[in-house]
Amino acid sequence: MSAPRAKPRQILLSRRANIFYLEHARVLQRDERIVWLTESGEDVEQYFNLPERNTALLLLGKGTSITDAAMRRLAESNVLVGFCGSGGSPLFAVTEPVFLTPQSEYRPTEYMQSWVRLWMNDSHRLELAKALIAERISLTEKAWGRNADLLQRRIVLPPAAAEKLRQRSAAIADVQTLLLAEAEWARALYASLSAGYGLQFTRNEGAGARASKEDRINSFLDHGNYIAYGLAAVALNGLGISYAFPLLHGKTRRGALVFDIADLIKDAYVMPLAFECGADTRIKDNTFRARLIEVLQEADALDFLFGFVKTLSEKYP
């Protein structure tokens, strides 16, 4: 009697190289592999391999189906699967990320227990929110300072806005006021990018229009943000922390912590690339997504999110 086939070792979630977005495709298990095929209309179907053990996130766009066998194998490989609308934007507006999280009895518990203990303490929760804001500013400063396109256009992070947010957050005594300061910071970033690209940009989530460069930027922001939500969800799910314990976003939204963590990389990477690609009318959605995934991989964004969330959960021993 032959011994059972040993399963190959999984790559750590924080080190996985692949993020996939598929549309008008069928995802299935075939010969011990996960594959997908697209609607080509040809007699011979072409299958494409999806290396699930080196994949962190799979986004399924419109016209896409997945079999139960494929879903079961993806869950075994700890791959987060999300259903989204056209081009990677959320199917249900932009209110909450919809992900199918792998279920496991061996999900780590120590980070969730620590997070809940801190979250229940009002002063600790506020301090965690401030630490989140501080890291967001720091990462954005570093990323913008290394961005070749921004440097070429002489677009810099508004130093007054960064310093103002730092000073205000240190003195703020409640989350609502911190949110208002954060919104002012975001407006300053949009204004700096808009001026650098010679545009009159106003953020309009979920509009779906493509008539102008400003519309294209809004569309790319929607698409890019959903990828950021996916990476944040991967980090939180991998650490076993529920999405329902946010620091800044509304406590009544069960996915709010995903938004908080995704904000760390949205300002730094998604926003500049959305402006760069939106200003160039030749760039299509799939090109923007491919470039964003490459930028996030080069920046080790997923590994950073894992490390930062772990550090936050251990902030007050």
Which residues are annotated as part of the binding site for Mn(2+)? 182, 249, 263
Residues in Cβ contact with 237 at an 8 Å cutoff, skipping those fewer than 6 apart: 80, 99, 101, 102, 107
Q: Are 65 and 27 in contact (CB under 8 A)?
A: yes
Residue spans of beta strands (DSSP E) within 189-307: none
Q: Which residues of 280-295 are buried (b: 16+ CB within 10 A; e: fewer)?
A: eeeeebeebbeebbeb
Closest Cα partner for 144 from 89, 203, 188, 182?
Answer: 188
- Name the 3-class secondary structure at 82: strand
Closest Cα partner for 203 from 134, 292, 275?
Answer: 275
Annotated binding site: 182, 249, 263
The radius of gyration computed from the CA coordinates of the chain, to the nearest angstrom, equals 20
* Neighbouring C-beta atoms of residue 11, cutoff 10 Å: 17
DSSP 111-153: HHHHHHHHHTSHHHHHHHHHHHHHHHHHHHHHHHHH-HHHHHT
- Residue 57, phi then psi, degrees to nearest 5: -145, 135
In a 13 Å sphere around the CA of 188, the CA atoms on its Cβ side amount to 18
Q: In which residue are the tokens 């959903």 written?
A: 226
Q: Are 57 and 20 in contact (CB under 8 A)?
A: yes
Residue spans of beta strands (DSSP E) within 25-73: 25-30, 33-38, 48-50, 55-60, 65-66
